[in-house]
Structure 1
Amino acid sequence: MTADPDIAIAGRPRDVQANGLRHRVLEYPAEGRATARAEVVMLPGITSPAATTDFLARPIAARGFRVWSPDIRGRGDSEVPPAGGYAMTDYAADVAGLVQALGLPAPIVIGHSMGARIAAAHAVLHGGADHPLLVLVDPPVSGPGRAPYPTSRDSFLAQLHEAKAGTTVEAVRRFYPKWPERELRLRLQVLPSCDETAVLESYEGFHTEDFFDHWRRVTPPAVLIRGADSPVVPPGAAAELAAANPAVPVVAVPAAGHMVPWDNFEGFIAELLPRLEAAAP
């Protein structure tokens, strides 16, 4: 990645071996505390390396939590697996391996988009019932027999190819018109690190793997936070999610699409922080 000298990432990079791969993880120590209130693992989306979560990790660390944000395999500075390996079971096993390698006792897990699907799969396949909090932010509900993911494969490829060829902030803004300038510039910087096979196979998984298979088995304490204007979790899907797992609340952040905290940071933080505080008083 080519660093933008005007964008400082507060997370401290660490390389961790887990599930047969080397993973780059950003660590945000708990501010003002010798011991963190709780450990938080933050899982980003399909084309979002760990650095893109910096603006979220900072305010969480400022509340006394230690935050860990990994580059998902095939993105950022994490390794690319030698032959595919981008199923939800692969991603969930990575998280389990990272949690074990870092020695994190029952961390809070927050996932956005594909990261939310990974978080749910990890909770169901590896986490067990004993978890302090699971936060799923606008997970793709597409899958077999369901409406396709609303962003096309060609759109993902166009963004990726433009970034690798060299593009501008204004060109990125046409895909994300609500984003702050810093986050647009950061995406411009880190998107070229995403492996094309990782993106394409993960995108295919949005249509071949059913999020509801894991969602039905998610147990409290948990919450699903969607953007009120999100085409990824539209109102009909939100109602289906609530019916399929009534034990877990489904809440909406106003004036936000799929990129919920980027679109409405204050609205998202207002939903998130009280739940973090309750999970680790």
Structure 2
Amino acid sequence: MAAPSFYGAHVRANGIRQHYLRFPGPGRDIVIVPGIVSPAALWQHVGEFLQAGFDVRILDVRGRGLSEQGSHLDYRVDACAADLEAFIASQALRAPIVIGHSMGARIAARLAARGGGIGELIMLDPPCSGPGKRPYPVPMDRTIKMLEACRRGEGDAYLRGANVAPWPEPLLRQRAEWLATCDPRAVHEAYLDFQEQDFHADVAGIACPVTLVPAQASGVILADELAALQAGQPALKVVVAEGAAHQMQAENIDTFFTLLRTMLPFKETEI
């Protein structure tokens, strides 16, 4: 029987159980930190794509997927950044490329600003909200309703409704299944962080190479917000995902994979 191309595993790091998916491959280490209601399983196709040229790990952020959750946990960004730092150390990774999507980008930026062992950071459409800034344009109530429908076992019908952007069929089914694993309190705490934590200050403090990928069609990063980030971090590289939605990894897969090919050091034979 052929060995599986990837596997799931747990590790105890930063005092909690952290679950991740591993896609062993050649080349540099990559750690993917998904967004607010995106367990690692929803990024499997991305891990499989990158596996040809990289050794990939996709993390379940605490309170999501198979990582630890519960009333005893702190779900705020500092705790999540400490998780990421401890996870990188647990895997003996040296200066990995970290790809963070949305909330995951803000977690990784907080760690990178503190010099937490990240070799290169790619931030996919992170919320630019914070003290004195406009709110994250995706309302918390909408996210919570979607999550609760999945936790009731009604996710498939809800995700096919008019108020939810369509995903490819296999990913839609996975989404309905795995959103049920997300702790609603973790979502609520993340939204508080979006408004209370200073993402711009974190980006300004990043010393490693850093790339920002605004999704052109999402409305998450406006022109003035992009300009402010660039002013605070002159080394910030910007690669616009033309025509892409916030969930570009699911709704604009071809565009997203093309961007990854341009941003990451694939070998010519791997492209």
Aligned equivalents of 2:224 and 2:6: distance in 1?
38
Q: Does 1:228 align with 2:216?
A: yes
Counterpart of 1:208 in structure 2 is: 196
SS in 1 for 2:240: strand
Aligned equivalents of 1:205 and 1:85: distance in 2?
12
CA contact (8 A) 2:115 2:207 kept: no
Counterpart of 1:246 in structure 2 is: 234
CA contact (8 A) 1:111 1:135 kept: yes
Regions of 4+ moved over 6 Å: none
Q: Does 1:40 align with 2:30?
A: yes
Residue of 80, 98, 103 corresponding to 1:109: 98
Aligned partner letter, 1:222? V
Tell me how many residue pairs correspond in the alignment. Answer: 265
Taking the TM superposition and a 5 Å limit, the aligned residue runs for 1:261-272 are 261-272=249-260
Aligned equivalents of 2:73 and 2:191: distance in 1?
13
Q: How far did residue 261 of structure 1 move?
A: 2.2
Aligned equivalents of 2:114 and 2:70: distance in 1?
21
Q: How far did residue 126 of structure 1 move?
A: 3.8
Residue of 24, 28, 35 corresponding to 1:29: 24
Residue of 155, 158, 170 corresponding to 2:142: 155
Counterpart of 1:52 in structure 2 is: 42
CA contact (8 A) 1:15 1:24 kept: yes
Q: Does 1:93 align with 2:82?
A: yes
CA contact (8 A) 2:23 2:56 kept: yes
CA contact (8 A) 1:29 1:66 kept: yes
- Residue segments in structure 2 that go unaligned for 5+ positions in a row: none
CA contact (8 A) 1:168 1:188 kept: yes
CA contact (8 A) 1:96 1:126 kept: no
Aligned equivalents of 2:213 and 2:163: distance in 1?
22
Counterpart of 1:135 in structure 2 is: 122
Counterpart of 2:261 in structure 1 is: 273
Aligned equivalents of 2:150 and 2:50: distance in 1?
29
Taking the TM superposition and a 5 Å limit, the aligned residue runs for 1:120-131 are 120-127=109-116, 131=118
Q: How far did residue 109 of structure 1 move?
A: 0.3
Aligned partner letter, 2:44? D
Alignment TM-score, normalising by the size of structure 2:
0.91
Taking the TM superposition and a 5 Å limit, the aligned residue runs for 1:178-197 are 178-197=166-185
Q: CA RMSD in A?
A: 2.1
Q: How far did residue 186 of structure 1 move?
A: 0.8
Aligned partner letter, 1:161? E
Alignment TM-score, normalising by the size of structure 1:
0.88
Go from structure 1 to structure 2 and tell me whether the alpha carbon gap of 1:125 and 1:193 turns closer, same or farther (over 3 Å shift). Answer: same
Aligned partner letter, 1:14? A
CA contact (8 A) 2:66 2:181 kept: yes
Aligned partner letter, 1:11? F
